A = this chain, B = another copy of it.
Amino acid sequence: MPPTNPPLAAKLAGLQSSAIRDLLKLTTRADVISLAGGLPDAALMPRERIAAAAETALSNSSCLQYTESPGWAPLRAVLAERESARLGRVVPVEEVFVTHGSQQALSLLAEVLLDPGALVIVEDPAYVGALQVFRAAGARIVAVPLDADGMRVDVLAELLARGERPAFVHTVSNFHNPGGVTMSPQRRRELAELADAHGFWVIEDDPYGELWFDSPAPEPVATYSRNVIRLSSASKILSPSLRVGWMVAPDRVCRGVELLKQGADLCGSALTQQIAAELLADETWLTAHVDSVRTAYGARAKALVHAARDRFGARIVCTEAAGGMFVWADFTDGTDTQALLPRALAEGVAYVPGSAFAVEGGYRNSIRMCFTTSDAATLTEAIERLARAGVNK
């Protein structure tokens, strides 16, 4: 081992693994019902359709070659068409950039848009994958709380009035991970107006928007302002294994990301991008497929929320089962959810304590529950086990 080389040791000490990932390693016991994961249900992924698309792509050797850094051109064209419909304006192909999951968009954007010490505003509780990237980029992080209508844009306005100047504001606008809530149309408009007035970017991180249960998600924040960089992904509606996320952003942002993408990994996979393009272009099939995922997740989410409210009554406040993959619950009886976790695991149920998502501490009475990979009966049993673990201890 090199006798010198201080940077590695220092950096290893400074980096923190995702608390969720570390926890997941402890919750793979077969007898544990895990509400702790954050994975979509592989059984609902369109395996046969992907296999057929793979066979089609592999009938030609072009899918085996390196592809362009911003993504395989026909996939970008399909995405431009979909995003044009979603945003109600013509999105040119040059403003669509394919990334290796939307996580890569976050990391490349952090590199392009942030200088060390730049201010980034996030939601609290926060998506930890974003928080990790912004911290690694040396950003100063300030959090704005969520409520039932999403980001407290009034708190953001106060920060701006006090002179804070963020490089960007990150929001999971629809069916928040971990918070479960969706930003109201009114707040979307206000957030966009603040971005225009103060000259900051909004990163609208939207992997869950299509997974609504009863009524569609509101118009994207990107509808209201060109200062919004919109991220989405095929991971939750098709399969994470395609590693296809995408970004809609002004051309100059896309070109900055392109230069960094060349250094980061040259390009994505022409094979999985061709598969994604075929599936995303097949509107009729896709609509039916996403409908079936929505129906399954909706039933699960409602069973979970129903069981939690039924079992805990006034001792819990749960988000609505409106969409996405997560329900957030606050115990009103002082239950310390970190202290509860070992007892819950002993009873055979796992969840993620709210504190794992806290930006500046707190959320010690909260939990995040993922409902995607268990059926209604199993989720009801999970709540029973949680109750047995003694939430009022």
Contact = CB atoms under 8 A, between A and B. Distances in A.
Interface residues of A, number: 83
A21 to B, nearest CB: 7
Interface string A322-340: 0000000000000000000
Assembly stoichiometry (copies): 2
Nearest to A131: B263
A129 B259 CA distance: 11
Contacts of A113: 5, 7-8
A265 B8 contact: no
Contacts of A272: 269, 271-272
A253 B8 contact: yes
Contacts of A200: 2, 4-5
Contacts of A136: 260, 263
Interface in A175-232: 195, 198-201, 226-227
Contacts of A63: 241
Interface in A2-38: 2-5, 7-8, 11-12, 15-18, 21
Interface stretch (A39-47, A76-84, A289-297, A349-357): A39-47
B43 A66 contact: no
A164 to B, nearest CB: 12
B256 A8 contact: yes
Given A64-B45, A263-B129, A4 B241 contact: no
A125 interface: no
Interface class of chain A by DSSP: helix
A132 B5 contact: no
Given A5-B199, A129-B266, 16 more contacts: A4-B200, A8-B112, A8-B256, A12-B252, A12-B259, A17-B258, A42-B62, A42-B65, A45-B61, A45-B65, A64-B240, A64-B241, A133-B263, A240-B267, A241-B270, A243-B265
Interface of A: 1-5, 7-8, 11-12, 15-18, 21, 39-40, 42-43, 45, 47, 50-51, 54-55, 58-59, 61-67, 99-101, 103-104, 106-107, 112-115, 118, 129, 132-133, 136, 165, 167, 195, 198-201, 226-227, 235, 239-243, 250, 252-253, 255-256, 258-260, 262-272
